Structure 1
Amino acid sequence: MTSAGSIEGLGRVVVVIPTYNEAENLAWIVGRLRRAQPDVDVLVVDDDSPDGTGRLADELAAGDPAVQVLHRTAKGGLGAAYLHGFAHALEAGYDVVGEMDADGSHQPEQLDRLLEALRDADLVIGSRWVPGGSVVNWPRSRELLSRGGNLYVRVLLGVGVRDATAGYRLFRRATLEKIDLASVRSTGYVFQTDLVARTLAAGLTVREVPIEFVERIRGDSKMSGAVAAESLRRITVWGARERVAQVRRAVRRRA
């Protein structure tokens, strides 16, 4: 993948954008990202979108050497798409690998906040729920669901991150190499929480910076009640396992 350049102190940076039926948004969000951060490359990972998103991504790549596309043969979930993109980025030698939604909810114009914070962190999250963070065009019910879900994650998994479910983030290469991506089995939205927990368990530094999250104005959201319920179920299982592990460690220390 041809790099548009590198960022001083961080090296080569690529942002992975997973897509499924985002033909209305893709050129818009990629254009904004390239204008906001000309030295950051873009990797679109398309899950065989029937609306032609993959073809549009190829057209963008043909006109810009800093844009590349990976085509997957089926809709395999957000986590699976990111894992595919991460593997490609690491193989290509990138120093920093980012995540960004294709629908415009993550504003490329705020990526500089994450890049600056990564200078003394291993993972940076663009957070809705730290002071200064906000959401736009969300009903109160959805805000309560997100805040409640993140509170559940903090209590059950014992992590201090306030927005562990957020999908606007930057990883150092060394972070992705240390958290054993080959063993990640979460493919849906719970993938985001999984990687936060793994990063903290590895003794690495996670920082949150405030962002303004803007609800999509075009296309259909991939989040549903069933997806949220599955995420909470997986987190509950992880939390129960962690509590059992904590008890066992405590017993061994006393013995």
Structure 2
Amino acid sequence: MSYTIEKREKGYLLFTITRSEKRNAINYEVMNGLEEAINEASEADSKALIITGEGDRAFCSGGDLSVFHLLHTKEEAYPMLSKMADILYSLLTLPIPTISLMNGSTVGGGCELAAACDFRLARNGIKAGFVQGKQAITTGWGGGTILAEKLPAANAMKMLMDAELHTAEELKAYGFIDALFEKDALMACEAYLEKILAKDLRVLESYKRIWIRKWEETKLRERIEEEVRNCASLWESDAHHDYVKSFIMKKR
């Protein structure tokens, strides 16, 4: 399996991508696992959902290009992009707090996954960035649209358009990272959530609903769909395929 889902005694659900050999890149199995975790978190009595990656090298390196390089046209790319966008929107609108526990480097689609969570905690010293621009595409899972909801416009634009990796300290200054930690990731996350987990579940759900209502009223899902379609169009460009070929050759 490419993931694990654990219910923890302190009242939260823990989802871990277990593909450390692939820097916890997202494939179709991880997508299905995220759907499973989101459904379980919404149906059970969990007070939070924590998402992290196996090991300490990477939280998530985005989409697994060794799998997705088989997608050439926009018609082929769209179903994959749309599926993951649906998952991230479900994560964004999950009626309990969600936390991205960034234990290692976070790249491309990994940043989109992190953006969809309510809180982002990062290990001091890691780097992260929306590097899709270097691949001649844009964010395609809704991450750009979600980022625009959560950060000041100039900060979000700079992160997306630069397409560079930034230090955790820089990302905290941008407002993307909420807290930094040094040692044990899960222990640090539990400490960060301690007061939240002590509250009644109905209180947490009521507060989360404030933001969900806002996103529904401002048609966030429709705006994400436009992002998905734009990325699908760029996906079939020669510039993107040249990047993917170069990436695959380096791996070999």
Q: Compute the TM-score of the two structures, normalised by the length of structure 1.
A: 0.27
For the pair shown, the structure with the greater C-alpha radius of gyration is 1
Higher helix fraction: Structure 1 or Structure 2?
Answer: 2
Q: TM-score, normalised by structure 2?
A: 0.27
